[in-house]
Amino acid sequence: MNAQSLWVLCALLFADGATFSFATTFLLIEYGKFHTPWQVALAGGAASAAGSAVQLLILRYFIATDRPWMRRFVPTRERVAATLAQYPSASFLALLLARATPLPDAPLKIVAAVVGYPVALYFLAILLGALPYYYVLALVGQKVRVPTWTVLAAVVVIGLGVLADRWRRSRKAS
**Phi, psi angles (nearest 5°) of residue 120:** -65, -40
* pTM of the model as a whole: 0.78
List the chain domain ranges.
Answer: 6-145
* Three-state helix/strand/coil letters over the chain: CCCCCHHHHHHHHHHHHHCCCCCHHHHHHHHCCCCCHHHHHHHHHHHHHHHHHHHHHHHHHHHHCCCHHHCCCCCCHHHHHHHHHHCCCHHHHHHHHHHCCCCCCHHHHHHHHHHCCCHHHHHHHHHHHHHHHHHHHHHHHHHHCCCHHHHHHHHHHHHHHHHHHHHHHHHHHC
- Residue 127 makes CB contacts below 8 A (sequence gap 6+) with 45, 46, 49
Q: Kindly report the CA angle at 67 between 110 and 127, in degrees rounded to 5? A: 25
Residuewise pLDDT in 10s, the chain (174 residues): 677 888 999 999 999 999 888 788 889 999 999 999 999 999 999 999 999 999 999 888 887 776 676 666 666 666 666 666 665 555 888 888 888 888 777 778 877 887 788 999 999 999 999 999 999 999 999 998 778 788 778 778 877 887 788 788 777 776
Give yes or no for a contact between 25 and 136, defined as CB atoms under 8 angstroms apart: no
Q: What is the pLDDT of residue 76?
A: 62
The residue count for the chain: 174
Burial pattern 97-114, b for ≥16 Cβ within 10 A else e, equals: bbbbeeeebeebbbbbbb
Rounded (10°) CA dihedral 143, 12, 4, 162? 60
